[in-house]
Structure 1
Amino acid sequence: MKEENNGTPKNKWSRIFRKKWFFPAVYLTIAALLLSVVVWYQNLDNQIQETEDDQSSETYTPAEHDEDAQSVMDQQEVIKMPVVNQDQAEIVTKFYDYNAEQEEQENALVMFNNRFYQSTGIDIASADGETFDVLASLSGTVTEVREDPLLGNVVALSHENDVVTYYASLQGVNVKSGDKVQQGEVLGKAGENMFGQESGTHVHFEIRKDGNEVNPESFFNQPLSALDEAATEDEGTESEATEEESVESDGTEESTEDSGAGAEDASTQNSQNSNVEGGNTTDDTSDSSSSEDDA
């Protein structure tokens, strides 16, 4: 019985193997499995490639922006005080600001020839009263070098965005017109001049934006672009002030017209009154003349 039972499965498999459809079915199954593996592998490779491309693009984009931001920051110079040692520097004359307090305005007045003048810059002196090197506050081009009888030696530098730095009361000058100077380069030595005798040995420093003087103390250690923002704010303030002045002037013109009209009415009335009085006098005279003739 055991031998018959053991022989039965073998006979079944042999019968299956003998079927005509068995081997083609096996081949098709194996081919389908191989094709499935190939397709799955290709999809997996494409997914890996797309992931790598996404990662490379994500890392590349911020790097590009970082380089641009770094280049912009490199171009923006910070406005420096034109001295070597700021700790030893002392501002003896301030910039005259109309919005400042009275004490600061008094410190921004320069007396010359028994008259007071408003300072358009600042006077910087050393704490020990000795001369010192005057440095370029910003990189730029020398546009003016001259000797003034009142201000001493004068040097002017032009910069980007219509900015000009102005240095006066120099004892000696190390540059000439047309020179390209870098920030921190020595322009000359601080000295004395006739206009600012009370300041002693000093350098008179100004910053001009679009031809207008600004307070240098407000822009030290700030980028050059800060001057553009201040100029924009000043233009807005000036436009508002102009509008207010125009409104006030319109009101003044209207009141002037009203007063003029009233004056014309008054003069007309006075002339009419005088005519009436003159007519009455004529009548009276004619009456008196007729009375004399009758007599």
Structure 2
Amino acid sequence: MSLCYMFHKGRVILAGGGRVPEHGEVPDCLAARFVNSGLVDRDGADDVWAELADECEIPTGFEACERRTCWTTAGEEQFFRIGKAFHYMDWERTHKFCGRCGAANVFDDKEWAMRCPRCGELIYPVICPAIIVCVERDGKILLGHGVNFPPGRYSVLAGFVEPGESLEECVAREVYEETKIRVKNVKYFASQPWAFPRSLMLGFTAEWESGEIRPDEGEIEDAKWFAPDEIPEYYRGVSISARLIEDFVRRHGGGGEKCSAKKG
């Protein structure tokens, strides 16, 4: 059984019941609108990704779904498979031409890279590392309300790693830039691929060292310390941000009854 991960304007196309369709289920009207396609895995599996033309109409029996929330119907395993397929699709879509000489790239299935036939430049799939951190102080967690968050939603702090920077240095810099808080005892927690569109999230925990909260209004509108039974609405899903928050609540004995976690 091979699956077909189709994408239309950034959304994933799912069949009835919120599942990824098998390749043989894809109707001709969709297959004819493939702009590009390729394999999802390097190990010889037959699962494929496909990019649909923007003007393509989605037929009855299929639905264009938001990738961030499709885990509720497709399940956690397929959520990450969808992310992997989208990552490859987006990489090929945004690297059609060589950034060195401007020639049209071709896919090299041995290197699993985009190769320039003119100058030989190789472009491998782009992965952008980003840190995400649970900062604690006296049994409370630091959460921020991002400028693009829905009203009332908070999360742990995050940011992209810059050139010449270690992960621990990035944690310290991002927390300070967003809140003017200095941290210590930075410890690795877990990692997670996050294909929105090409991130690798690296989770950490840290402790408050000094400073009082002064939010960087360009990135976050508000930041506060929350006790385990004071946690506001947060994005639960299958995100590492939720795992960090829920790990904090467990470790500090919170019952979670007052947490208003949302799935959307």
* Same-fold call, TM cutoff 0.5: no
Q: Structure 2 length normalisation: TM-score?
A: 0.17
Higher fraction of strand? 2
Higher fraction of helix? 1
Which of 1 and 2 has greater Rg? 1
Q: Structure 1 length normalisation: TM-score?
A: 0.16
